[in-house]
A and B are shown apart, each in its own frame.
Chain A
Amino acid sequence: MTVAENWLKTNTFHHSDFRDLQRLVDEKERLGLTISLCIPTLNEQATIAKEIVVFRSELQQRYPLLDEIAVIDSGSTDQTLEVAATFGADTYLASDILPQMGPKCGKGENLWKAIYQLHGDIIVYIDADIKNIHPRFVYGLVAPLVYQPAIQYVKAFYDRPLASSGGVRPTGGGRVTEILIRPLFSLFFPELSLIIQPLSGEYAVRREVLEAIPFPIGYGVETSHLLDVYTRWGMGAFAQTDLDQRVHFNQPTMNLGRMAFTILQTFLARAESLGVVSGLPELNHVLRQFQAYDEEYEAVEYEFVEEERPPMVTVPEYRTMRSSSHVKQPG
């Protein structure tokens, strides 16, 4: 068995492997771990209530797996925060957390600020736009960290065939993954191509890892995480869990183009800093896309500069808080 095959066999799970929630909670309590759920939001009032109800009832009331459920919002103009609070989540506006660091807007910003605001030894991030939410989205990601001390970072992947004869079938991530990320990883970081869905927005990570890595504030955050964790802790730090189907709103191709542009910036910057590529020119930050009106074509230009937050452990306020937080309880 090759190293790659071995990793796939030992570090790839299915959520049903962990369906014994009482056992999982017992082990979490034996280890004295605390677990925080972070839901980053921007105008998610249609789906947020269901996520909170399901997680609170199943993973707090029935099985005390989660020590806190927090919504960190980028400034929704709808009722996202009010609805989330009604259903019992802790709610925060990202701009209110570490305000002295200045405002930045993006999902990565919310994820980064969760490290400061939340208390868990493990933080699990779940997107708010999942239509078919289920407790497996949390316990499937958290369980490998609880049961296996060597695992640091667990990614979700989603793969459910509509029909199978038991034979071989193709599997993989979304469109940006298959067209951009997997070819890039295969060229420069072949081991990382073992991760089936590198851009999935659901993952659980140990605090020691999260606080030690920088956070791009936009679409590049997942790619950057994978590269940083891989180069620092190696492939053995990763695991991935099949969460079956994830139903969400599909993004139009033009949006995916903008996402890919940002991710590529992050990738090239990391690859250069790691010495994997060299001699890159200064990169242009403007993406040009087109829309057509009859026979007229209009160019629309978008400027994306992927900003980055430093490792949280380098932020003095965080160090001060953590050094005095041994007695601080979640919630």
Chain B
Amino acid sequence: MSESFAQILKRLPEYTKTIRRLEDILLTNLVMVAEIPSPTFGEQRRVQWALDRFTEYRLEHCSIDEAGNALAILPGRCADRNLLVVAHLDTPVDENLDHTVTVQPGLVSGVGLADNSLGVAALVTLPLVLSGLGLELESNLILMGSTRALGRGDLGGTRFFLNNTELAINAGLCLEGVRLGRLSYATIGMLRGVIRYRLPDEYDWTRFGAGGAIVSMNDIITRILEIPLPRRPRSAVVMSSIEGGGPGSKVPTHAELQLEVRSDSGEIVADLHRKIANIASEVASLGGGEASLEVIARRRPGGLEFSHPLPERARDILNALGLPPRISPSTAELSAFVDREIPALRVGLTSGEDLDEEREQLEVAPIASGMAQVIALLQAIDQGYCDRG
């Protein structure tokens, strides 16, 4: 029976309480998936694990697609609408690190928990939570553990599915481990790239000013930082990593800089891309080296408006849970939905500390609220409270 949105909000405390009773199952799924290393393009073991879980929970159409995504469907009663819930399976963690998870009262620690083992654990536990709450959706619920989301993966798994599925996807929900309360419904324009600077083997070291690849890369960085950036639309250039040279006292012949250009405006991203490529070429020509800018990933800005019913309902749910919504744009999975003009949200599930460190710590207690948020959102979408007009 259809409930009013107010009734859904009223049931949130009951959802949270019931989910707390299923917490051990979610924690177990978190432990099991987090202990499987899963670098981008190396997600196969996690894919199989997710598929096994889907099969054990007796979902339908459990399968792996050509991009390696793990997929399953929890059929709805009406089945003329399809909701896609996604959690990316890859983690930004060296697969050789110790992936052992430690559980302590109120805390879970390990590597890659926030990004995104907890999202995956929540994804596979979702059917049990719905069942535990006695909820059956009208819409089909498509669950997808996606591959190749991060770095060079460039959202490959989700893009493949959305570009090739014959199912009409009405809405999407992207699950991320942290942070509970964070809400993304729009994406910013982004270009992620690598500048490589290399000196040729026949380089003349007696030449005036010859300083090697690192000095030249420093020149490139200085020049990039001199590019004027507008206050509006908001724009930034983030330099995320740098490496170069080798051991000993040899003059370095190569250097590499990873950077990300971000802006609310797609035109500004394109303009910055052109300017940075020109700077790299100019510094290379002055220094006698070779420079290239390789684009690894791109996102176009877009998404839902603040007043769209989907983010509005999501904010209402967070407020009802006593969690102030923190709106932030995303460059992750959400972009693949934006590209297809599918209404979608990205939500977080809990809080944590030492995120991105070798031993992240996630708090267990907020996870029940995080999952209650997901359930209420699915109900609201399912019953049409998030449709425009």
A61 to B25, CA, bound (A): 8
Point out the residues of chain B lying under 8 angstroms from A274, CB to CB: none
Give the residue name and chain of the A residue nearest to B35 (CB).
Answer: A132
Point out the residues of chain A lying under 8 angstroms from B105, CB to CB: 49, 83, 86-87
Are A132 and B100 interface neighbours, CB within 8 A? yes
Are B102 and A61 interface neighbours, CB within 8 A? no
A47 to B105, CA, bound (A): 12
A330 to B24, CA, bound (A): 21
| Stretch in A27-35, A51-59, A143-151, A179-187 touching the partner | A51-59
Point out the residues of chain B lying under 8 angstroms from A132, CB to CB: 35, 100
A3 to B104, CA, bound (A): 48
- A62 interfacial contact with B, CB 8 Å: yes
- A46 interfacial contact with B, CB 8 Å: yes
A131 to B31, CA, bound (A): 11
Point out the residues of chain B lying under 8 angstroms from A256, CB to CB: none
Shortest C-beta distance, B364 to chain A (Å), equals 10
Are A61 and B24 interface neighbours, CB within 8 A? yes
Contact string, B86-108, partner A, CB cutoff 8 A, digits 1/0? 00000000000000111111000
A104 to B278, CA, bound (A): 78
- B28 interfacial contact with A, CB 8 Å: yes
Point out the residues of chain A lying under 8 angstroms from B104, CB to CB: 49, 83
A83 to B102, CA, bound (A): 13
Point out the residues of chain B lying under 8 angstroms from A87, CB to CB: 24, 103, 105
Report if A50-B103 is in contact (Cβ < 8 Å); known contacts: A61-B24, A62-B25. yes
Shortest C-beta distance, A196 to chain B (Å), equals 24
Are A53 and B28 interface neighbours, CB within 8 A? yes
Shortest C-beta distance, A52 to chain B (Å), equals 9
**Interface of chain A, helix or strand or loop or mixed?**
helix
Point out the residues of chain A lying under 8 angstroms from B24, CB to CB: 53, 56-57, 61, 87-88
- A315 interfacial contact with B, CB 8 Å: no
Are B27 and A57 interface neighbours, CB within 8 A? yes
Point out the residues of chain B lying under 8 angstroms from A14, CB to CB: none
Within 8 A of A (CB), among B23-44: 24-25, 27-28, 31-32, 35
- A246 interfacial contact with B, CB 8 Å: no
A49 to B24, CA, bound (A): 11
Give the residue name and chain of the B residue nearest to A50 (CB).
Answer: B103
- B27 touches which of A47, A53, A247 (Cβ 8 Å): A53
Within 8 A of B (CB), among A231-268: 247
Are B28 and A57 interface neighbours, CB within 8 A? yes
Give the residue name and chain of the A residue nearest to B108 (CB).
Answer: A50
Are A50 and B25 interface neighbours, CB within 8 A? no
A205 to B105, CA, bound (A): 32
Contact string, A128-171, partner B, CB cutoff 8 A, digits 1/0? 00011110000000000000000000000000000000000000
- B102 touches which of A50, A54, A57, A62 (Cβ 8 Å): A50
Report if A131-B100 is in contact (Cβ < 8 Å); known contacts: A49-B105, A83-B105. yes
Of B24, B27, B102, B104, the most chain A CB neighbours within 10 A belong to B24
Are B25 and A54 interface neighbours, CB within 8 A? no
Point out the residues of chain B lying under 8 angstroms from A49, CB to CB: 102-105
Shortest C-beta distance, B122 to chain A (Å), equals 15
Give the residue name and chain of the B residue nearest to A131 (CB).
Answer: B100
Of B32, B103, B105, the most chain A CB neighbours within 10 A belong to B103
A291 to B104, CA, bound (A): 37
A300 to B25, CA, bound (A): 49
Shortest C-beta distance, A100 to chain B (Å), equals 35
Report if A50-B32 is in contact (Cβ < 8 Å); known contacts: A57-B24, A61-B24. no
Within 8 A of A (CB), among B1-45: 24-25, 27-28, 31-32, 35
Shortest C-beta distance, B46 to chain A (Å), equals 15
Give the residue name and chain of the A residue nearest to B52 (CB).
Answer: A19
Shortest C-beta distance, B112 to chain A (Å), equals 16
Point out the residues of chain B lying under 8 angstroms from A56, CB to CB: 24
A62 to B124, CA, bound (A): 14
A249 to B28, CA, bound (A): 22
Are B100 and A247 interface neighbours, CB within 8 A? yes
Give the residue name and chain of the A residue nearest to B27 (CB).
Answer: A53
A29 to B134, CA, bound (A): 27
Are A58 and B102 interface neighbours, CB within 8 A? no
The 3 closest A-B pairs by CB, nearest first: A57-B24, A50-B103, A49-B103
Known: A53-B103, A57-B25. 6 other contacts (CB 8 A): A49-B102, A53-B27, A53-B28, A53-B31, A58-B25, A62-B25
In the complex, 20 of the A-B residue pairs with CB atoms within 8 angstroms, ordered by the A residue number, are A47-B102, A49-B102, A49-B103, A49-B104, A50-B101, A50-B102, A50-B103, A53-B103, A54-B31, A54-B32, A57-B24, A57-B27, A57-B28, A58-B25, A61-B24, A83-B104, A83-B105, A86-B105, A87-B105, A132-B35
